[in-house]
Amino acid sequence: KIFKQNFVFLCFVSTQTLCSKAIYWYKQNIGETLKLILALYKNTPPEYGPEFSNSRFNVNNDKNFSNLMILKTIQEDEGIYHCGITEWINAEWSGTYLLRTSNYSVVQQPTESKPDRTGDTVTLECSVLSESQNEAFNNVFWFRAGSNKSHPNIIYTDGNRTDQCEKRSDHQKRCVYQLSKNVSSSDAGTYYCAVATCGEILLGNGTTVELGMILFYLLPFILNYVNIKIIHICLKSSSSQSKLCLCVLIITQTEADINYAALNFSERKTRGRRKREFTETSVYS
């Protein structure tokens, strides 16, 4: 596995072979036929195939080895490289598979999102950076891992969309994928984008979505920094012999900007010596 490095293939040959036999180097992509890279005939200069040149493919014969060097490997260099040695009807063959490591990076934005209320729209963005202009991303998946540590669930897939890609430089391409949804209380959790390309699955760093959590954080703060006053007020009507009483619980701020009040309403009506209670209501705000 290599990335942007020089790579050397070794093919064992005897000193006598280098003088009397032909050496061939081929490349084979998966599912395709062999393509000639170069051919060496005795001590003559190498002859390159139509798709290859000495600008990136060099050959050197050293003692008992024929060395094929690829300069600054790219993704398209991945494949099987064959070394063939022939002399009349005799042939020797060997092959090496070159697997190039990924040159992608996946970035998610934002890393945290806190919508104010249910129904708000949250937009998550997944950016894929690549150093090859010819590569296409097969599929993009979105997963959500719930806040209760449940297993991630796939929620959306997006196929290859070339209109979302832009060329940032001669050697870099950027593709952007977005997920927009109206959130509800059950949508809290961490969202991940996953890009499947070239036999690999690349995961983003994740975006945490929280909804209405500030109410739970604020409650202990309210209870710790308050002053409490209780006021009892009664109003009596002389004509109807009824009385309206208000019990007011006032919680005022100390150092925090918080107000809390509880009201208790009771109504009593008196006829003669018998007293009858009607309704009693408590209101908190």
Do residues 245 and 266 touch, judged by C-beta distance below 8 A? yes
Answer yes or no: is pLDDT of 66 > 50: yes
Of 19-28, 212-221, 241-250, 253-262, give the range with the top mean pLDDT. 19-28
pLDDT, mean of residues 79-100: 81
Tally of structural domains, the chain: 3
**Cα-only R_g, the chain:** 38
pLDDT, mean of residues 210-230: 48
In a domain, 182, yes or no: yes
Any bridge partners for residue 27, and if so which? 35, 81
pLDDT on residue 81:
93
Asked if residue 110 and residue 94 are part of one domain, the reply reads no
pLDDT on residue 246:
58
- The answer to which of 28-37, 127-136, 188-197, 199-208 has the lowest mean pLDDT is 127-136
In a domain, 2, yes or no: no
pLDDT on residue 35:
94
In a domain, 15, yes or no: yes
Asked if residue 181 and residue 166 are part of one domain, the reply reads yes
Do residues 195 and 159 touch, judged by C-beta distance below 8 A? no
pLDDT on residue 199:
65
In a domain, 143, yes or no: yes
Asked if residue 87 and residue 23 are part of one domain, the reply reads yes
Domain boundary among 98, 123, 141: 98
Asked if residue 227 and residue 275 are part of one domain, the reply reads yes
Answer yes or no: is pLDDT of 217 > 70: no
User: CA dist 184 to 84, 110, 210, Å?
Assistant: 64, 19, 10
> Quick one: what percent of the chain has pLDDT higher than 70?
56
In a domain, 156, yes or no: yes
> Quick one: what percent of the chain has pLDDT higher than 90?
8
The residue with greater pLDDT, 135 or 91, is: 91
pLDDT digits (tens, 9 = 90+) for 221-248: 444 544 555 555 665 655 555 566 655 5
In a domain, 188, yes or no: yes
Asked if residue 235 and residue 185 are part of one domain, the reply reads no
Dihedral of the CA atoms 44, 50, 54, 56 (nearest 10)? -150
Range of the domain at 223: 215-284
Per-chain mean pLDDT for the chain: 71
pLDDT on residue 214:
38
Domain boundary among 212, 236, 271: 212
4: left (phi over 0), alpha (psi -120 to 50) or beta: left
Q: Binning pLDDT at 50, 70 and 90, where does residue 120 land?
A: confident
Environment class of residue 126 by beta-carbon count within 10 Å: exposed (0-12), middle (13-18) or buried (19+)? buried
pLDDT on residue 206:
84
Nearest one of 143, 139, 138, 175 to 156, comparing CA atoms: 143
Asked if residue 182 and residue 112 are part of one domain, the reply reads yes
pLDDT, mean of residues 193-221: 66
Asked if residue 220 and residue 206 are part of one domain, the reply reads no
User: CA dist 204 to 34, 123, 201, 250, Å?
Assistant: 37, 15, 10, 50
pLDDT, mean of residues 207-218: 58
Answer yes or no: is pLDDT of 1 > 50: no
Asked if residue 236 and residue 137 are part of one domain, the reply reads no
Answer yes or no: is pLDDT of 96 > 50: yes
Domain boundary among 181, 212, 243: 212
- The answer to which of 47-51, 109-113, 223-227 has the lowest mean pLDDT is 223-227
In a domain, 185, yes or no: yes
Asked if residue 120 and residue 204 are part of one domain, the reply reads yes
Do residues 229 and 250 touch, judged by C-beta distance below 8 A? yes
Asked if residue 126 and residue 203 are part of one domain, the reply reads yes
Q: What is the CATH number of the domain that holds 20?
A: 2.60.40.10
Check residue 199 and report its DSSP letter.
T
List Cβ neighbours of 29 (8 Å cut-off, separation of 6 or more). Answer: 35, 78, 79, 80
Asked if residue 124 and residue 206 are part of one domain, the reply reads yes
The residue with greater pLDDT, 261 or 170, is: 170
Model-level pTM? 0.43
Asked if residue 208 and residue 117 are part of one domain, the reply reads yes
User: CA dist 11 to 37, 76, 246, Å?
Assistant: 14, 22, 99
